[in-house]
Amino acid sequence: MALEITNKKWLGYMLYVILVALFLLYFLFPANAVEEFVANSVSSINPDLAFQAAKIRPWIPAGLRVTEGRLYLRDAPQMTVFEADNLYIAPQVLKVIQGDYSFTLKAKAYKGEIAGSIQAPGKGTGAFETKVRFRDFNLGDYDLLAEKFAHRISGSLSGDIVYGIDPASNAGGSGRADLSLTAGKVQLQAPVFGISSVDLQSFELGMELSGRKVTIVRADMAGQKVKAIMTGTIQLQEKIELSQLNLKGTLEFLAEFSKNHPDVLELLRSMKKRTRRGQYFFAITGTLGAPSFSLL
């Protein structure tokens, strides 16, 4: 009986110590030091980017909760590259013990959700790798698109992204992405054949990155009025809006388009452009900030 009472007493002491430790960890947590560490880590991966957060707190049982985290351009602090309402980061304990800096993350941003992992340079590897899956991003809330590109894009974006870079190598990063846009709309900067916007029921995009070259493996667009298929390359530049486009594909006008824009179809026929089973061939050149569309 006495032994049972002693065990309960020691158990109570242990619980008390744990609760006090958690209390002190939460209220004495060095948030500024952690934010500085994250900012330095971001800069080591990409010197052009900087990081700030409204609040950083420990996340039980192990990890961090970042509130209103924001990545922005160092030379233009008003230009937000990415921001999250809430971001949770937790270490993969076994890998960290082995000397590998490996973390899992979850976030809520742009009315969507993110889940993924980060492998930072450590004992087992000198490379940085991240894998991210996101669902239902509202592109209309992503201000960087409106700032950098001539055409306004909206819709719900989901996809998977894998990206890796070896800081010791000069080859640059590599990766791939599979993206899907639904309920989308492209508001053109200037009308094309009298059309000021394009509604997209779906847009499927698969692309690969090697150094500064992005290869569009596939791009399938389906709307109520038009369908299109596209492939090609994008040569990235320091200023993303100056990246060079070399894209080609086919464009098909559907019955809804024919009914609402008969004059455009008549104009296209008079131009005697090359067609195949009702599909027109096109090219997109110029830059991301100022693309140029032409029928072949």
Higher pLDDT, 260 or 7: 260
pLDDT at 100: 67
- Which residue has better confidence, 120 or 14? 120
Q: Which residue has the higher pLDDT, 37 or 261?
A: 261
Choose between 175 and 30: higher pLDDT: 175
Exposed e or buried b for every residue in 273-287, given b needs 16+ CB within 10 A? eeeeeebbebbbebb
| Sequence-separated (6 or more) residues with CB below 8 Å from residue 126 | 166, 167, 168
pLDDT for position 22: 46
Q: Share the mean pLDDT of the chain.
A: 77
pLDDT band (50, 70, 90) for residue 292: confident
Task: Choose between 240 and 99: higher pLDDT.
Answer: 240
Higher-confidence residue: 206 or 4? 206
State how far Cα 193 lies from the chain centre. 32
φ, ψ for residue 100, nearest 5 deg: -100, 125
The whole-number pLDDT of residue 63 equals: 75
Q: What is the pLDDT of residues 259-273, one digit of tens each?
A: 777 777 777 777 766
**pTM, two decimal places:** 0.74
In this prediction, residue 170 has a pLDDT band, given cuts at 50, 70 and 90, of low
* Whole-number pLDDT of residue 115: 92
Arithmetic mean of pLDDT, 73-92 = 83
pLDDT band per the 50, 70, 90 thresholds, residue 93: low
Stretch 229-240: mean pLDDT: 89
Q: Residue 131 pLDDT more than 80?
A: yes
Mean pLDDT of 60-64: 71
The DSSP string of 87-117 is EEEEE-HHHHHTT-EEEEEEEEETTEEEEEE
Q: How far apart are CA 212 and CA 51, in angstroms?
A: 24
Average pLDDT value for residue range 241-256:
88
Average pLDDT over residues 260-287: 79
Q: 273 vs 87, which has greater pLDDT?
A: 87
The region of weakest confidence among 106-120, 160-174, 176-190 is 160-174
Q: How confident is the model at residue 125 (pLDDT cuts 50, 70, 90)?
A: low
Token pair recorded at residue 59: 């996340």
